[in-house]
């Protein structure tokens, strides 16, 4: 991934503004430490901070067409770029080996409809100089981050940036650019382009699960995300989601190392290029000493024969990092901050090894109803509707965490569970198949576990040890060590007095903190982002009180977690 900063229709001297634009773009250089580019034309400016993963030798941005009419900046990866090139009707000269340049030539043939053909994670800004037009778009679920802003003193000017921190000084209105949408300056409208049939949460699907197809679709999602020209690895918490991604990636890497030719004849949409470095998979985990995740991750790494890297942190190291984490996250959401801090620390360790890309397991809990509070769903329709809502809001929570915690150190995280084809399959499965039922012995994400259970396939090597395949859900912020969240609560009690806490409702009418921990985070957020406009893009997640769930978002607070201990299933 990379960092984008762009201003369309600047009301002033654009060349004089260039140094200001470079300063604002530099605020997100952590996203793209490999190179910087800036291009001005008329009263527009486009800047890019590059993290080179594909087309390393020639992929510098902004990409400018030979006639200087089109200027393109992209943050993300287009996995089907070779197929898209091959499907272009006209002859186009490509200036780079980048997976992103195809967007520019697709625009010439398809206009904004091009977004419907992209398979990947992306945010982009494309300037059409001749038409004095800018279009911007974001991937279906919001795996990449994008914001846009306005300055009331400059009507008609619009700003775009990968992170809030590049806009808050110059804009008095800032919004998160909605996933699955495209903006067109000619209409000044932001319209939805991603409209799958499952987006209607009131429509309850009835398609029974096909376990074989589910397994194959996830395997394909992982395979395409191994497109890279740099060292890569997997984040391995030892939970089901990251362990499955690691297991599939390990099998794919082994095929490459052994010289096997992968068969793509049945699906020509996807790029056949893959990793050429580190033929043995590297895995990474973090936690407090003897944390549940560390123990489980060791077992998985041994089973998969990965080169495993285990890191521990102290409570104090994590507490010291919280303020910086909030600066990078640009949110005050409690559960996001709790989970992001260990991920932020781990990402720094990984980048220090020279790794630029990792696979991660985000999205599975939303898609398959894997969080422990889903046990409390009153019926199938409610369960399904909640999964749809959670997937739609991923860009405020786990996608934001996965993107910004890693990109704080120039590390890209790819998330196979949010593959567009996998979503189409999984979100149309009958919720009766997806919903956990303790009385029937069906734990959370049962169908995912069953799809990769090879106990009745004697010729197939097990993907994971049974102890991990059937391990109860641990939210990442819990699994790194229970004392992490406990310590955050204790620190907030000492930092926030009763008198201060009593002023919360007067101080913040939006998202009023209801705990001292939330109050503490809100204060830290305000130190970095004091402008009122900065809160518009923040959404807090609170468990379903109407399902009888406690307010604390920790998985340990849910009844299903206690029940697993009581029944000896832990």
What are the angstrom distances between the C-alpha of 253 and each of 79, 171, 242, 250, 285?
Answer: 17, 46, 16, 5, 19
**Binding-site positions for L-glutamine:** 99
DSSP state of 58: T
Q: Among all chains, which residue has been given the structure tokens 């997937």? A: 391
Q: Is 2 a catalytic residue?
A: yes
Task: Give binding residues for ATP as ranges.
Answer: 235, 286, 360-361
Among 2, 100, 171, 523, which one carries the catalytic annotation? 2
Binding-site residue positions: 99, 235, 286, 360-361
CB 168 within 8 A of CB 529: yes
- List alpha helices for 452-558, DSSP H: 466-469, 476-479, 482-495, 498-501, 504-507, 516-528
> 52-83: b or e for each residue (b if 16 or more CB lie within 10 Å)?
bbbbeeebbbbbbbeeeebbbbbbbbbbbbbb
Closest by CA to 538, choosing from 295, 329, 235, 263, is 329
Biggest CA pair distance of the chain: 71
Give residue 375's Cα distance to chain centre. Answer: 25
Across 294-383, where does the E strand assignment appear? 307-312, 357-359
Which are the contacts of 398, defined by CB distance < 8 A and separation ≥ 6?
336, 339, 362, 363, 365, 366
**3-state SS class at 198:** helix
Q: Is the peptide bond before 62 cis (omega within 30 degrees of 0)?
A: yes
Separation between Cα atoms, residue 543 and residue 522, nearest integer Å: 19
**Spatial contact of 286 and 313, defined as CB atoms under 8 Å apart:** yes
For residues 158 and 198, the answer to whether their CB atoms sit within 8 Å is no
Cα dihedral sign, 454-455-461-464: positive
Q: Which residues are catalytic?
A: 2
């Amino acid at each position: 991934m990379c960092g984008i900063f762009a201003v369309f229709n600047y009301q002033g001297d654009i060349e004089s503004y260039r140094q200001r634009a470079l300063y604002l773009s530099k605020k997100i250089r952590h996203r793209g430490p490999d190179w910087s580019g800036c291009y001005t034309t008329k009263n527009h400016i486009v800047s890019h901070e590059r993290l080179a993963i594909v087309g390393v030798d020639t992929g510098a941005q902004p990409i400018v067409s030979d006639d200087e009419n089109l200027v393109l900046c992209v943050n993300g990866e287009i996995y089907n770029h070779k197929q898209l090139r091959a499907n272009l009707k006209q002859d186009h000269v490509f200036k780079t080996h980048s997976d992103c340049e195809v967007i520019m030539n697709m625009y010439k043939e398809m206009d904004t409809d091009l977004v419907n053909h992209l398979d990947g994670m992306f945010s982009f800004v494309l300037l059409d100089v001749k038409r004095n037009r800018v279009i911007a778009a974001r991937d279906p679920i919001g795996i990449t981050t994008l914001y846009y802003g306005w300055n009331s003193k400059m009507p008609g000017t619009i700003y775009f940036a990968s992170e809030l921190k590049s806009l808050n000084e110059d804009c008095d209105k800032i919004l998160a650019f909605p996933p699955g949408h495209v903006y067109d300056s000619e209409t000044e409208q932001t319209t939805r382009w991603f409209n799958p049939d499952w987006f209607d949460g009131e429509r309850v699907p009835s398609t029974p699960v096909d376990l074989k197809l589910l397994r194959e679709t996830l395997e394909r999602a992982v395979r395409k995300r191994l497109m890279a020209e740099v060292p890569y690895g997997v984040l391995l918490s030892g939970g089901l989601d990251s362990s499955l991604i690691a297991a599939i990636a390990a099998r794919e890497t082994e095929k490459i190392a052994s010289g096997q030719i992968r068969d793509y004849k049945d699906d020509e949409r996807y790029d056949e290029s893959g990793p050429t470095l580190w033929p043995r998979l590297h895995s990474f985990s973090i936690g407090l000493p003897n944390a549940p995740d560390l123990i489980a991750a060791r077992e998985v790494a041994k089973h998969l024969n990965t080169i495993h890297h285990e890191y521990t942190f102290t409570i104090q190291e994590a507490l010291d990092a919280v303020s910086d984490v909030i600066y990078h996250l640009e949110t005050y959401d409690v559960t996001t901050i709790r989970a992001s801090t260990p991920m932020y620390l781990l990402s720094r360790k990984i980048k220090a090894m020279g790794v630029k890309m990792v696979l991660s397991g985000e999205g599975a809990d939303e898609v398959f109803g894997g969080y422990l509070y889903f046990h409390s769903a009153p019926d199938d329709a409610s369960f399904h509707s909640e999964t749809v809502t959670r997937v739609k809001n991923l860009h405020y929570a786990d996608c934001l965490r996965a993107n910004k915690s890693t990109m704080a150190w120039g590390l890209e995280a790819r998330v196979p569970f949010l593959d567009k084809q996998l979503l189409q399959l999984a979100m149309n499965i009958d919720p009766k198949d997806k919903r956990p039922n303790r009385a029937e012995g069906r734990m959370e994400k049962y169908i995912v576990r069953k799809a990769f259970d090879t106990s009745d396939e004697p010729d197939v090597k097990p993907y994971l040890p049974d102890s991990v395949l059937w391990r109860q859900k641990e939210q990442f912020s819990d699994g790194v060590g229970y004392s992490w969240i406990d310590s955050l609560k204790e620190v907030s009690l000492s930092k926030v007095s009763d008198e201060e806490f009593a002023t919360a409702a007067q101080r913040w009418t939006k998202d009023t903190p209801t705990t001292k921990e939330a109050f503490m985070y809100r204060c830290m957020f305000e130190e970095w982002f004091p402008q009122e406009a900065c809160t518009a893009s923040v959404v807090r997640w609170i468990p379903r009180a109407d399902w009888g769930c406690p307010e604390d978002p920790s998985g340990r607070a849910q009844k299903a977690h206690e029940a697993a201990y009581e029944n000896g299933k832990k």
